[in-house]
């Protein structure tokens, strides 16, 4: 425990000095007491960097067509069992306006598979209309695109972009994402940063073939890129994919621990308590002994370094078809108002509140080395 506490101190004061071995050691606390200490340290760092309140993002999953064929994903091009849908530009804007009437979200996240089926002009129009109608930030999560597309959408008003690299292990990436390359994906992230998007990335935890060293390297990549948003979600096997019979390798505890270590390494990032974590928390009830009053494992992540919740405001008729992994659709309520009410209750149970406003990155302007957040070893 003493050695682990010393490593935590080192991480707080000098995350740049952490080696792969250090991060592997942080990811494997020697006891439950050390695990709790890690989570608490990450929570305090989060409070220091991004404040006490929780950012609520509204997500619209507007198309489940995808030209990629990632082995783990229910939306992969090769999955013939998913009912495909593509919302019209009007319907996407309507969904955002409807959500805005229920709650004035500060950010709308427009997510889809990598769908080449929209004209660029239509996507530009959608971004412009949502910004005009809501005055909120718009985040895009639409996969790998050309420089010209990223640039045009930014000029249309898009503020942020999410593109998880999923794993930094080149061999594993090749096996799991055979229709693209790690170099291309990281190149897209560099392009987005260069254009000035607030850029988010992240990983899937527990992928078959992923080991501890691989996860440590993933987190170090996030540190070195200093992304404005970092997402850690557990892998959940989807029955209609080639990985459908693989066992679940991560659990609530390991996911929270990885989120907490990510917070140590990228202290100023916005980090979601992912829906996938909520889904595995429905069966893995261990976490209930840590927080008996909480209803959802996602809430515990908000005490271990995460500070963002995503609320699905996609029209209900499409939700079951955006099946990246099983169980996702049922993790959110069918009615937007109910979901918002439940989320506010959960956040209030943590003695926290929902942040008003857009919830931009605390780094100004976006980019590495521009933060003035103090890093002092005063957390123990």
Among 143, 234, 237, 278, binds ligand SF4 (CB under 6 A): 143
Residue number, 266 or 324, with CB nearest to ligand SF4: 324
The CB-based long-range contact list for 248-252 (8 Å cut-off, 24+ gap) reads 248/206, 248/280, 249/206, 249/207, 249/208, 249/210, 250/205, 250/206, 250/280, 251/280, 251/284, 251/286, 252/277, 252/280, 252/281, 252/284, 252/286, 252/287, 252/297, 252/300
The torsion angles phi and psi of 204, rounded to 5 degrees, stand at -105, 130
Residue number, 3 or 248, with CB nearest to ligand SF4: 248
| Gap between the terminal Cα atoms of the chain | 13
Question: Cβ 18 to ligand SF4, closest distance in Å?
Answer: 29
Residue number, 45 or 279, with CB nearest to ligand SF4: 279
User: Coil, strand, or helix at residue 330?
Assistant: helix
Q: Interface residues for ligand SF4 in 112-141 (CB under 6 A)?
A: 113-114
Residue number, 66 or 262, with CB nearest to ligand SF4: 66
User: Coil, strand, or helix at residue 269?
Assistant: coil
Q: How far is CA 133 from CA 181, 268, 309, in A?
A: 37, 29, 22
Could you tell me which stretch among 10-18, 49-57, 73-81, 313-321 binds ligand SF4 (CB under 6 A)? Answer: 73-81
Residue number, 54 or 324, with CB nearest to ligand SF4: 324
User: Count of residues binding ligand SF4 (CB under 6 A)?
Assistant: 10
CA distance 337 to 214: 40
Could you tell me which stretch among 23-31, 69-77, 101-109, 315-323 binds ligand SF4 (CB under 6 A)? Answer: 69-77
Among 38, 75, 158, 229, binds ligand SF4 (CB under 6 A): 75
CB-CB neighbours of 325 under 10 Å: 22
E-strand stretches of the chain = 55-63, 107-112, 137-141, 160-162, 198-205, 229-234, 308-312
Question: Cβ 180 to ligand SF4, closest distance in Å?
Answer: 8
Could you tell me which stretch among 55-63, 70-78, 194-202, 330-338 binds ligand SF4 (CB under 6 A)? Answer: 70-78
Residue number, 76 or 298, with CB nearest to ligand SF4: 76
Q: Are strands 55-63 and 308-312 parallel, antiparallel or unpaired?
A: parallel
Question: Cβ 76 to ligand SF4, closest distance in Å?
Answer: 4
Residue number, 73 or 109, with CB nearest to ligand SF4: 73
Question: Cβ 199 to ligand SF4, closest distance in Å?
Answer: 17
Question: Cβ 69 to ligand SF4, closest distance in Å?
Answer: 6
Among 11, 12, 45, 70, binds ligand SF4 (CB under 6 A): 70
Residue number, 12 or 204, with CB nearest to ligand SF4: 204
Q: Interface residues for ligand SF4 in 283-342 (CB under 6 A)?
A: 324
Among 43, 55, 57, 76, binds ligand SF4 (CB under 6 A): 76
Q: How far is CA 6 from CA 39, 43, 115, 378, in A?
A: 15, 18, 48, 13
Question: Cβ 144 to ligand SF4, closest distance in Å?
Answer: 8
CB-CB neighbours of 12 under 10 Å: 21
Q: Interface residues for ligand SF4 in 8-67 (CB under 6 A)?
A: 66
Question: Cβ 136 to ligand SF4, closest distance in Å?
Answer: 24
The CA-based dihedral angle spanning residues 299, 300, 303, 306, taken in that order and rounded to the nearest 10 degrees = -70
Reading the block at residue 149, the tokens are 């597309």
Residue number, 46 or 164, with CB nearest to ligand SF4: 164
Reading the block at residue 67, the tokens are 């030209």
CA distance 181 to 169: 11
Among 68, 104, 181, 349, binds ligand SF4 (CB under 6 A): 68
Reading the block at residue 133, the tokens are 């109608």
Question: Cβ 141 to ligand SF4, closest distance in Å?
Answer: 9
Where do contacts with ligand SF4 occur on this chain (CB under 6 A)? 66, 68, 70, 73, 75-76, 113-114, 143, 324
């Amino acid at each position: 425990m003493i050695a682990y506490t010393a490593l935590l101190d080192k991480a707080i004061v000098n995350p740049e000095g952490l080696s792969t071995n250090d991060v592997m050691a942080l990811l494997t606390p020697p006891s439950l007491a050390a695990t709790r200490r890690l989570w608490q340290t990450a929570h305090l760092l989060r409070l220091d960097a991004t404040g006490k309140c929780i950012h609520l993002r509204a997500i619209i999953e507007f198309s489940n067509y995808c030209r990629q064929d990632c082995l783990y994903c229910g939306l992969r091009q090769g999955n013939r069992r998913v009912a495909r849908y593509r919302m019209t530009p009007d319907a996407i804007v309507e969904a955002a306006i409807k959500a805005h009437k229920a709650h004035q979200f500060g950010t709308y996240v427009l997510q889809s598979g990598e769908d080449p089926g929209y004209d660029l002009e239509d996507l530009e129009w959608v971004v412009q209309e949502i910004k005009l109608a809501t005055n909120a930030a718009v985040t895009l999560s639409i996969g790998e695109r050309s420089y010209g597309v990223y640039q045009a959408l930014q000029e249309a008003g898009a503020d942020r972009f999410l593109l998880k690299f999923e794993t930094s292990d080149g061999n594993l990436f090749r096996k799991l994402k055979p229709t693209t390359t790690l170099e291309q994906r990281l190149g897209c992230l560099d392009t987005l940063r260069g254009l000035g998007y607030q850029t988010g990335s992240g990983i899937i935890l527990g992928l078959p073939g992923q080991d501890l060293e691989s996860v440590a390297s993933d987190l170090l990549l996030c540190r070195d890129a200093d992304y404005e948003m970092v997402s850690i979600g557990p892998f959940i096997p989807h029955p209609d994919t080639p990985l459908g019979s693989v066992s679940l390798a991560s659990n609530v505890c390991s996911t929270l621990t990885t989120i907490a270590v990510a917070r140590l390494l990228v202290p100023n990032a916005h980090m979601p308590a992912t829906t996938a974590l909520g889904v595995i928390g429905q069966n893995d009830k261990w976490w209930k002994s840590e927080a008996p009053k909480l209803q959802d494992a996602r809430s515990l992540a908000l005490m271990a370094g995460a500070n963002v919740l995503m609320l699905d405001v996609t029209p209900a008729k499409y939700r079951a078809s955006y099946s990246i992994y099983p169980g996702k659709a049922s993790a959110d309520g069918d009615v937007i108002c109910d979901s918002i009410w439940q989320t506010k209750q959960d956040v209030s149970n943590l003695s926290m509140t929902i942040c008003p406003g857009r919830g931009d990155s605390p780094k100004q302007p976006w980019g590495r080395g521009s933060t003035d957040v103090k890093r002092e070893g005063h957390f123990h």
